[in-house]
Structure 1
């Protein structure tokens, strides 16, 4: 039965909490997922319009987080030429896309790199809201103090804040001293502006990634979540691969689609992360026992046995999730050069919005074949530990 579900039962509590906060959005989201799931089952590569569209507004970032597949120790963006790092969609192209999206109302997520480094990101939010679209931003919050007032005024729906732990841990992982304090000052101002303008949005979600520097102090995140008024705290398992898994994926991908898939090498580790799963599970128990105004979710929501297997070996297959990927039926990613890709770390563009409409790209022959292949094999070699989209739908 788990293979037939459009919402993994392991994720139900997370989804219900969001539904309580935004019931209209929840109903619309479920409807979009249902249509996409039906086309996954019966569409032979075709798909209903996506539930979510993520704009990678910029490759650039103002931090160098240790575990990041983009700018971390082995991050693939570090080798990009300056011309590529400066790329960004023209505002006129984004406006045209938002008008196109208004017919099916996807959630717009602003991503990066760090999206606030794109000079017109505030205008992107404004355009999205003018077209009746829900709009979120995934940010390190370093520049939040500068933009908090505009976020409230424009009606940004949600801030998804990447937090690693208390001050010392956060700054160590982020690679820049003072990062934690700058973020906290921004959230202090955000609460002030929301109060002054009598607004509940933007809602605040914290995303914390488990890693070797914070796994034994994750319970300290609860106090911070309450302090900044977060309604959601998501604790994400670390993404990590070894070279052998990436090589096998690359061989398959090149043989099937005719191009290499190098981006996954940004998640390659020389050795397993130094995370003791028994201590990690103790932290999870502490977190569950602490009273908080924020709903806490562990994502993916693995069993205790799965967590032990996940962090003590390279190969992994969940027994509690379906292990098939629906993401290319549910989500599209638009990169700074206008290319549309089915994953945020896959070097295989389906088309370019500077040359074709999004709707033309979404179900073109290239996209349909990609979905057909994935439908047949269920997932790629890198998916189980390299991308949490596998466990989302």
Structure 2
């Protein structure tokens, strides 16, 4: 059974991002009662569960969903990304979730792709940046009284902001003081209805942007869990740079083994990139194992193992690193010796591309 679950609880969104068209989709969303049945069948295997969308906080019952997931599966970490537009509801629901799930780490990642009007332009909502900062200020107040609340900032690197990532990251880290700053690359996904949109930056541009993020990691002095997570993040950036040039699996992918995705209508996917239904939970008495161990799921796992697909999906990549002994050992050695590997590059000193 997978340790990493993502559940998209709706496709509806109040943003109109240039990098995502998921808001155009309409489906019959699973109810709280249905999630209760699903995670009763899942049991206590998940360690990391992400509740995503769409905009997750558009569901007024998000706190109830989080509560049944916690009661049934007791994950160590619950992660929820948000655009920050619902300035009153988000803090209210975050507090409710944190208090009803006291033994899990609640991670709220605010999505910011630029500063000021630049962010508004990419996200398609005037005043988005200002409202996001209002939400952030309320969340920071909450955090003082909630020991299990972690606040992060998340940036999608696309053709629209790739050449300003250094300035964006510097500003957000300095002014918002998040517990962590994460980024992932804009991808053309079936799930997000972005196939053929050209949102993914060039490999050379991405390399330059992420090399700055790696430099900031090297220059910072992290401690405890943050030090471990940054070591993995540094490796992730190297893997994505290599993938961007080589277009192949860099380390074995464990999608369909260690990670899974449940769509809002109950379809179970091995991953959101391929978004191939392995079965619908409504058709299988909400019994996740029935789907997870069926012939479609076995065929999906064989396909991934045979490297018939490749992608830089962030959520799955961290699970892949934890499941890949050589990477795990390398990160452990880096931490022990207090070092980081060299940033991956295929760019020559004169700026030309080095063929692989």
2:182 is aligned with 1:280: no
2:298 is aligned with 1:368: yes
Q: d(CA) in 2 for partners of 1:263 and 1:206?
A: 23
The normalised TM-score by structure 2 is 0.72
* RCO higher in structure (CA 8 A, sep ≥6): 1
How many residues align? The count is 300
Alpha-carbon contact 1:236-1:298 (below 8 Å) kept: no
What does the per-residue CA deviation read over 1:240-260, in whole Å, with 9 as the maximum and x for residues that have no partner? 59xxxxxxxxxxxxxxxxxxx
- 1:130 aligned partner: 71
> Compared with structure 1, are the counterparts of its residues 279 and 176 closer, same or farther at alpha carbon in structure 2 (3 Å cutoff)?
same
Q: d(CA) in 1 for partners of 2:16 and 2:67?
A: 29
> Compared with structure 1, are the counterparts of its residues 140 and 361 closer, same or farther at alpha carbon in structure 2 (3 Å cutoff)?
same
2:138 is aligned with 1:189: yes
Q: d(CA) in 1 for partners of 2:268 and 2:32?
A: 17
> Compared with structure 1, are the counterparts of its residues 223 and 329 closer, same or farther at alpha carbon in structure 2 (3 Å cutoff)?
same
- 2:182 aligned partner: 234
2:140 is aligned with 1:212: no
Alpha-carbon contact 1:60-1:112 (below 8 Å) kept: yes
Alpha-carbon contact 2:158-2:200 (below 8 Å) kept: no
- 1:316 aligned partner: 247
Alpha-carbon contact 1:338-1:353 (below 8 Å) kept: yes
- 1:224 aligned partner: 172
Shift of 1:62: 1.0
- 2:238 aligned partner: 302
Q: d(CA) in 2 for partners of 1:234 and 1:226?
A: 14
Unaligned runs of 5+ in 2: 321-356
What does the per-residue CA deviation read over 1:7-27, in whole Å, with 9 as the maximum and x for residues that have no partner? xxxxxxxxxxxxxxxxxxxxx
2:50 is aligned with 1:99: no
Unaligned runs of 5+ in 1: 1-48, 72-76, 242-261
Q: d(CA) in 2 for partners of 1:272 and 1:229?
A: 28
The counterpart of 1:180, out of the listed 129, 139, 145, is 129
Q: d(CA) in 2 for partners of 1:346 and 1:307?
A: 21
Alpha-carbon contact 1:236-1:300 (below 8 Å) kept: no
Shift of 1:135: 2.1
Shift of 1:53: 1.5
> Compared with structure 1, are the counterparts of its residues 115 and 186 closer, same or farther at alpha carbon in structure 2 (3 Å cutoff)?
same
Shift of 1:215: 2.4
Alpha-carbon contact 2:187-2:199 (below 8 Å) kept: no
- 1:358 aligned partner: 288
Shift of 1:334: 1.1
Q: d(CA) in 2 for partners of 1:353 and 1:111?
A: 18
- 2:89 aligned partner: 146
2:17 is aligned with 1:89: no
Q: d(CA) in 2 for partners of 1:272 and 1:94?
A: 34
Q: d(CA) in 1 for partners of 2:165 and 2:211?
A: 10
Alpha-carbon contact 1:152-1:201 (below 8 Å) kept: no
The normalised TM-score by structure 1 is 0.66
- DSSP-derived class of the 2:109 partner: strand
2:150 is aligned with 1:203: yes
* RMSD after superposition: 3.2
> Compared with structure 1, are the counterparts of its residues 138 and 278 closer, same or farther at alpha carbon in structure 2 (3 Å cutoff)?
closer
> Compared with structure 1, are the counterparts of its residues 118 and 298 closer, same or farther at alpha carbon in structure 2 (3 Å cutoff)?
farther
Shift of 1:186: 0.9
Shift of 1:388: 4.2
Shift of 1:379: 3.6
The counterpart of 1:66, out of the listed 15, 18, 31, is 18
- DSSP-derived class of the 1:136 partner: strand
Q: d(CA) in 1 for partners of 2:115 and 2:27?
A: 32
